[in-house]
Amino acid sequence: MPWQALLNCTARLPANPDLAEGYANLLDVLGGVSPFELAVHGGRMMATPGLAFLVGYQAALRMLWPSAPHSLGALCATEQRSLRPADMQTRLVDLRLSGRKDFVTAGNAADWMLVAARSEEAGESPRLSLAVVYRGESGVRVEKLPAIPLMPDISHGRLYLENAACELLAGDGWDAYVKPFRTLEDLYVLSAMSAWLYGVGQDCGWTQSLQLQLLALLAGCAEAGRQPPDSSAGHVLLGGLFAQFDGLKVALNAAFAAGPAEWAALWVRDQAVLDLAAGARAKRLAKALVDVSLK
């Protein structure tokens, strides 16, 4: 991570209601960057916490699939609010996908979608494969869902697949993709949101101490990003980073309350995004602590 680029950055891109166009504009500004640089430098330049979240999400996707296209993408796994392979009904047969995914982040704007689908033979235990489909192709349809109160500027969609042609990614769909993505998303969204907060702090003249603590958090994220997403040590480091972030909440809330109302309103509305996966993250941390015998 070229930290000087973050320290010297004063630019902020205007919010673009067209998420795909806004993301393309960001890439035009950043040029060729690593996923961590995308999350941090891109997150700092976003106009809202929701857009910072989206940048972190895109960075996580590129850690999951390094050869992903440069355009906006999405991972489609959840069905009926469940990620359990046994609960999924979407099927892959002869490089054709049929089924439905109920909650796709920025789904109506995504150019490509990674789809987790059952692929076991009859009588076998549930097994997932991961395939990629492209918006606009035959048998691929995305229904835009109503905005939700949290990050209303980030749309969500429902994906319908009807014998849609796809490309298959190598490896087991659960172990190589769906399971590690939960960790990658936690880390890269935290990175992007922390960078967004650092940028707000620069713009609003927050105390030097608070800005330096946010930079230290980002430095920790950089180290955690070097760990494999299935590493127990990496999960412990990630748990430490979220504990560090939780320790900043009182100071952050006070800084927002003392500054411009428009920034405070955005933070009050969207800060809970970092708590959405807290339960699953706590379970992973508890297991990791047992594995490394750190209690």
Beta strands 96-105 and 91-93, pairing class:
antiparallel
Domain end point (choices 138, 168, 198): 168
pLDDT for the residue 141: 96
The pLDDT tens digits of the residues spanning 158-171 come to 999 999 999 999 99
Strands (E), 166-279: 167-168
pLDDT for the residue 293: 77
Do residues 20 and 120 both lie within one domain?
no
- The token duo for 202 is 């620069």
Mean pLDDT of 73-90: 93
The pLDDT tens digits of the residues spanning 33-43 come to 999 999 999 99
Do residues 259 and 194 both lie within one domain?
yes
- Which residue range is the domain that position 154 belongs to? 73-168
Residue 286 has pLDDT above 70, yes or no: yes
Residue 294 has pLDDT above 90, yes or no: no
Mean pLDDT of 72-80: 95
Mean pLDDT of 137-159: 95
Do residues 163 and 183 both lie within one domain?
no
Half-sphere exposure in the Cβ direction for 18 (13 Å, CA):
8
Half-sphere exposure in the Cβ direction for 64 (13 Å, CA):
34
Q: What percent of the chain has pLDDT over 70?
A: 99
Do residues 225 and 100 both lie within one domain?
no
pLDDT for the residue 1: 61
Mean pLDDT of 184-200: 98
AA letter at 20: A
pLDDT for the residue 258: 97
Domain end point (choices 119, 139, 168): 168
Do residues 45 and 111 both lie within one domain?
no
Do residues 216 and 195 both lie within one domain?
yes
Q: What percent of the chain has pLDDT over 90?
A: 90
The pLDDT tens digits of the residues spanning 43-70 come to 999 999 999 999 999 999 999 999 999 9
pLDDT for the residue 255: 98
Do residues 205 and 128 both lie within one domain?
no
Any idea what the CATH number is for the domain that residue 144 is in? 2.40.110.10
Residue 85 has pLDDT above 70, yes or no: yes
What is the chain's mean pLDDT, rounded? 95
* Distance separating alpha carbons of residues 214 and 208, to the nearest angstrom: 10
- Residue 129, H or E segment: strand 128-134
